[in-house]
A and B are shown apart, each in its own frame.
Chain A
Amino acid sequence: MWAILSILVENKPGILFKVTHLFRARDFNIDSISVGVTDNPEYSKMTITTFGDEKQIDQIVKQLDKMIDTVKVERLDEHKTVYRELSIFKIKLSNANDSMEINKLANAYGGKVHDVKKDSIMVELTATPDQIKAFEELAKPFGIIDVARTGVAALQRSGAD
């Protein structure tokens, strides 16, 4: 199963290393990771998405919680959470209609088009990982030149506790 973990950590050097080291040492998976400072500069928030069975995810949460540098560790319920990832695709343009087709596709997914060139086009898409995957499948036939993804950022909806 897929899980979203939200981890509030002290904003100090070396903590990303410790968190990722924990995942490696205990044989847990990191599917994606994003880190940024919070409104209080003393803390950073990490959002990690991971795969595992119920027992493994329970262990991941407990082991993260045990770390002295983590202030709060939460497993977010994806149905009660706003979670998004930013992705940028560079896609090949081969035929005359490709540019228009890709524009339509990007619009359908709420994406923005950048850097339109003769042979390529870039699409910026902020969506859930599933939506990004779906977009990727549809973009594949055009030829994907490159992709960059940020990992998921997530916040629980108000009143969802």
Chain B
Amino acid sequence: MSNMEKMIGAKALMTAMEKEGVKEVFGLPGGANLPMYDEFARCNIRHILARHEQSAAHMADGFGRVSRKPGVCFATSGPGATNILTGIATAQADSAPMVAVTGQVPVAMIGKDAFQESDIIGMANPVVKYAFQPRTPGEIPEVVKKGFFIAETGRPGPVLIDIPKDVQQNESEMVFPDEFKIKGYHPWADPDIVAVEKAIDMLLHSQKPVILAGGGTIISSAFAELQSIAEALMLPVVTTFKGKGAFPENHPLSLGPIGMHGHAEANKIMSEADCVLAIGTRFSDRSVGTFEEFERNLKIIHMDVDPAEIGKNQTAQLAVVGDVQMNLRIMVKLLLQKAIKKSEETPWIKHVKETRAYWRENLKLHPGEMGAAKILRKLRELLPKESIITTEVGQHQMWASLFYDVIQPGTFFSSTGLGTMGWGFPAAIGAKVAKPDVPVVDIAGDGSFAMTENSLATAVLEDIPVIVFVLNNFTLGMVAQWQRTFYDRRMIGVDQGHCPDYVKLAQSYGAQGIRAQSMDELDKAIRDALSSDVATVIDIPIDPEEDVLPFVAPGTSLKDMILPS
């Protein structure tokens, strides 16, 4: 226990957050969180003003995923709190560390339907890792300490701290604890050497083994371990979409993401495999197609930090529970000890390499100059490899998955689980705050960008020069693609018109707006954006009829993917 000090709850909150190393908070003030806001005048935490609480939450989310420390967002009670719910749910679905702090009406007013009262604890329950509502100021230091610990340990996730206004305002003797106990929380399992040995054995005794790297590989930064295992055992690596870039996508063993819009070579090889080392993945329907078909004739070794994921969607022959980096490290060590290093090319690896080469050459692409593949490959060509990519949700996101190769692991982030349109831009702002020295690009579509474009105000006023790369088909493109494919081309509710003009929109916020209608213009626009010290929106008009292919239709399996004709 450290020293005691008398202060108000709001000051205790800021002090406790400073002790957690918080340097930035994304948020919006309102009646019920004013005492907390007043403390920004007296502390070393920078406040970054968002224009909507949902965006503040996405900024914190982007910050958290990139820095691997909880991003913090503030909102007031009532509508402020309900506005951040989508942001919290997005972080929960993608296991992103976040601490959301909401103001609440005073304790005595709770349950009285007070002005701007919402039962945010009740509403947020299914989409948070944990929620606190301190009822006395003295609880705040420990709540903050526990909140940050819960948010960033084990399988990370969002924590909500809802503080009634009087609890912020009232004074108390504060103790800032160094130690605390949470009885029902066991974020770590011990390393499981026996299981890891068995896993090696299963992989060695399979004819067609493959690694499936999920988002957990990125969360635990197990990049080096993954690569050395893949190379030692000569295993082809496919990823989930969330695991995209866990393994360098220019590596000869890399096949890219599987799934609904996975790479053809990845879906082919995954369907043929007889044994999979699945690392930090929950086998989402978008990744594996129908559950029954995926696990047929496939031995699954499932490594995950969350025991509840074992057996949820897929039946594992072998479970390795615990931090995936820890268990992969053991695997690396065991492989070294046993001097297991495959060098001869098995028929399987030969087949994998041929399949990879074939589809890299022969996937039929849009014939036009401004086809999605050409645009994204141009972006890849001009961006330094350490650049961070965020995406929105829709066709552009899947094109990014197909055509933007991640070379440096852990530089690609997307709203993959909840699929929140409007996530990418504010998340890019958060990412840039976490890593100001690398270029940060939000690969966007016009439909998604429209949902949080007012974050341009934040980017400009707070001097956070990110790049928004809008593949503009003037349409809610993915919905349109489904209407073309499954609804006999009845196009309902998808036409966005040429509204707004994103170049003028960017300029109206004081950002740089550039339209790129040819490859030459695009080349110049990307270079201008990279050297710009203000945020830049590159508006790239594309063909509204271009589909994302391959496509594994919902309710079908990976081997049934629809290819471009």
* Residues of B120-157 whose CB lies within 8 A of A: 121-122, 125-126, 129-130, 150
Interchain CA distance A63-B183 in the complex, whole Å: 16
B184 touches A55 (CB 8 A): no
B130 touches A68 (CB 8 A): yes
Given known pairs A59-B312, A62-B307, the reply for A70 and B184 (CB within 8 Å) is yes
Interface Cβ pair total, 8 Å cutoff: 38
* Residue B306 interfacial (CB < 8 Å): yes
Residues of A within 8 A of B306 (CB): 66
* Residues of A19-65 whose CB lies within 8 A of B: 21-22, 25, 55, 58-59, 62-63, 65
Interchain CA distance A69-B121 in the complex, whole Å: 15
Q: How far is the CB of B561 from chain A (nearest CB, A)?
A: 28
Interchain CA distance A43-B184 in the complex, whole Å: 11
Residues of B within 8 A of A18 (CB): 125
Residue in chain A with minimal CB distance to B315: A55
Given known pairs A14-B121, A59-B308, the reply for A68 and B126 (CB within 8 Å) is no
30 A–B contacts from the bound complex (CB under 8 Å):
A9-B184, A10-B183, A10-B184, A14-B121, A17-B122, A17-B125, A18-B125, A21-B125, A22-B126, A25-B126, A58-B311, A59-B308, A59-B311, A59-B312, A62-B310, A62-B311, A62-B312, A63-B308, A65-B307, A66-B307, A66-B308, A67-B184, A68-B129, A68-B130, A68-B150, A68-B182, A68-B184, A69-B184, A70-B184, A71-B184
* Residue B486 interfacial (CB < 8 Å): no
* Residue B185 interfacial (CB < 8 Å): yes
Interchain CA distance A71-B182 in the complex, whole Å: 9
Residues of B within 8 A of A58 (CB): 311
Residues of A within 8 A of B307 (CB): 62, 65-66
Interchain CA distance A21-B150 in the complex, whole Å: 20
* Residues of A62-104 whose CB lies within 8 A of B: 62-63, 65-71
Residues of B within 8 A of A69 (CB): 184
B184 touches A62 (CB 8 A): no
Residues of B within 8 A of A9 (CB): 184
Residues of A within 8 A of B308 (CB): 59, 62-63, 65-66
Count A-side interface residues using an 8 Å CB cutoff: 20
Q: How far is the CB of A55 from chain B (nearest CB, A)?
A: 6
Interchain CA distance A14-B123 in the complex, whole Å: 12
B182 touches A55 (CB 8 A): no
Interchain CA distance A55-B310 in the complex, whole Å: 11
Q: How far is the CB of A84 from chain B (nearest CB, A)?
A: 27
B311 touches A55 (CB 8 A): yes
Q: How far is the CB of B314 from chain A (nearest CB, A)?
A: 11
Residue in chain A with minimal CB distance to B126: A25
Residue in chain B with minimal CB distance to A60: B308
Residues of A within 8 A of B122 (CB): 17
Residues of A within 8 A of B311 (CB): 55, 58-59, 62
* Residues of B152-193 whose CB lies within 8 A of A: 182-185
Residue in chain A with minimal CB distance to B310: A62
Residues of A within 8 A of B129 (CB): 68
Interchain CA distance A68-B183 in the complex, whole Å: 8
Q: How far is the CB of B162 from chain A (nearest CB, A)?
A: 12
Residues of A within 8 A of B310 (CB): 62
* Residues of B277-319 whose CB lies within 8 A of A: 306-308, 310-312
Residues of A within 8 A of B185 (CB): 68
Known: A62-B310, A68-B185. 6 other contacts (CB 8 A): A10-B183, A17-B122, A22-B126, A59-B311, A68-B184, A69-B184
Q: How far is the CB of A8 from chain B (nearest CB, A)?
A: 9
Residues of B within 8 A of A10 (CB): 183-184
A21 touches B182 (CB 8 A): no
Residues of B within 8 A of A68 (CB): 129-130, 150, 182, 184-185
Residue in chain B with minimal CB distance to A66: B308
Q: How far is the CB of B315 from chain A (nearest CB, A)?
A: 8
